[in-house]
Amino acid sequence: MSYRKRVAALMTVDSLIVLTAIFISYFLLIPSANPFTNVLLISAITLLISHHLFAHKYKLYKKVWQYASISELTGIFYAVTFSVVVTGAVQLILFQQIALRTLAITWMMHILFIGGSRFSWRLFRDNYIQPALNKTNTLIIGAGAAGTMVARQLQHSQEADLNPVAFIDDDFAKQHLEVLNLPVVGGVEEIENTVKQLNVEHIIIAIPSLSRAELNKIFQECSKTKAKTQILPRIEDIMSGKVAVTQFQDVQVEDLLGRDPVELDIDGIEEYIKGKTVLVTGAGGSIGSEICRQISIFSPNELVLLGHGENSIYSIEMELRRTAPELNLSTEIADVQDREKMFSIMANRKPHVIFHAAAHKHVPLMERNPEESVKNNVIGTKNVAEAADAAKVNTFVMVSTDKAVNPTSVMGATKRIAEMVVQHMDLISDTRFVAVRFGNVLGSRGSVIPLFKEQIQNGGPVTVTHPDMVRYFMTIPEASRLVLQAGALAEGGEVFVLDMGEPVKIVDLAKNLIKLSGYTEDEIPIRFTGMRPGEKMFEELLGKDEVHDEQVYPKIYRGKTPEVNINVSYELVERFQHSTKEQLREELLDIANFRVRELSVLGK
């Protein structure tokens, strides 16, 4: 129906309701009297005209009544009340008296008929049309503003295939009450029972303010059921129109880390990046490419992408040219092991800041190839650091790992020695050299998440080394932001560490991924394979002698690392090719764990 026809139909219905209300009121008070008196006719005409005027003022003809709620009822109340008041005023002016009882009954019947005509469609639709559709019983977690909004949208949407049946909320004041005719059955502990009792097949978590730890707790309760679990989109995305309220999102493993992301000091980062030349090694890798994305936001004068793999560098270059067309972008295909090339690039590019993300990171592979780990992680870092010193770079930030703490693997040992190189360079150079440690990065190449997803996709089993193994986790964007923040905080020689919250059991991560993929552990089993060479049961972010208790920035700590025996490290670099793999591994671990201390450290 067109807008004009709709308004005409509503005005016609309202006219009949107004006249019926006033004549019935008069008849109820004086059944035997003549209804066509001047008082009654003038009152009826006045009431009719004033009703339409106030109905337009309160937009009663523009409301979508199938979604009617309290605000629409308030509009009806005002329109009816003011029209009756105007009618009473006209009676007083023309006839010097007001038919109070007639008008009172007219007011009540007027509201009843107008409200009934408007809300009857919603009642019919909610009670007869909607239940007739084949919809999925849905439990909404959170009976606050967001949860109520979701329930209302689902109740009134013909397109939505979800039927809300109850709320879950930990607020005792709401429990055992009803919201939108839906019971608030209890707290989070009632999720499993409610799913069984109400035959729930879908759960929506509708609490935007949830921390990741709280979301994880709720998700674990939902995981005890077979219902599909989703979360509400971000409120800012809903408000901006990017997504609808009913476009629910699957819970991602990143949502369950139990730690809120670190907020950046935007001004501090912008100060040392904006208008400067910035070079990123390993720019095609998971961390390096994300660092480049983050840097592009801060308008550098030039961003240089340096990497050994041409395909990965090409990929991030094309992405940045598309997403940041104003960015001055350059690429260098080079290996950090090529010392002359590093010095040449630094001399030509003259970067103000270097983010060194190039490294070999795969623990089992480096156990089998320790000499390659030395060449890339130690010699490569040494080459880039010394080239940075020669080119008088202002700030050098090295990406490190929690596996560098008390290392038991070749990869961890070479990263710790790389930290030693960086710390030593800070002592003898005018360049500020710092390192940044963090835990495992979700979604990075070689991380456990892609492996688990592939195993689940292939039907299992999901392989976990040990049921008690734990790790710290963070997302790629978080890791990259931390690296940028470290550059802003750098004074020289520090090892920055992120407060990563509580470590996560790998087996719990596997269980969550199985559940998030829509399977049960009966369908996708978990198999324990035993610890691999070089692996530790748990990782540390700082050694006992490295801990500074105070934070230098929210959730960021500065480690006080012990003095380094750089000469011993450099001696190893000179002769590592003449050692057997096992000898090289033992020497690396001895140096990284400070078991070799014959020589003193050079001073600045």
Q: Kindly list the catalytic residues.
A: 403
Distances (CA, A) of 358 to 108, 280, 331, 387, 585: 78, 8, 15, 15, 21
Q: Where are the beta strands (DSSP E) in 347-404?
A: 353-356, 395-399
Question: Where would I find the H helices in 228-309?
Answer: 235-239, 266-273, 286-296
Q: Residue 513 in contact with residue 449, Cβ under 8 Å?
A: yes
The radius of gyration of the chain's CA atoms, rounded to the nearest angstrom, is 35
SS3 content of the chain, % helix, strand, coil (to 5): 50, 15, 35
Q: Residue 306 in contact with residue 334, Cβ under 8 Å?
A: yes
Q: What whole-number distance in Å separates Cα of residue 359 and Cα of residue 49?
A: 81
The count of C-alpha atoms lying within 13 angstroms of the C-alpha of 319, restricted to the half-sphere facing its C-beta, is: 15
CB within 8 Å of 392: residues ≥ 6 apart: 430, 431
Q: Which residues pair with 231 in a beta bridge?
A: 205, 249
Closest CA to 130 of 159, 168, 101: 159
Residue 379, both tokens: 């010699």
CB within 8 Å of 435: residues ≥ 6 apart: 397, 398, 399, 400, 418, 419, 422, 423, 494, 495, 496
Q: Determine how many CB atoms are found less than 10 A away from the CB of residue 594.
A: 17
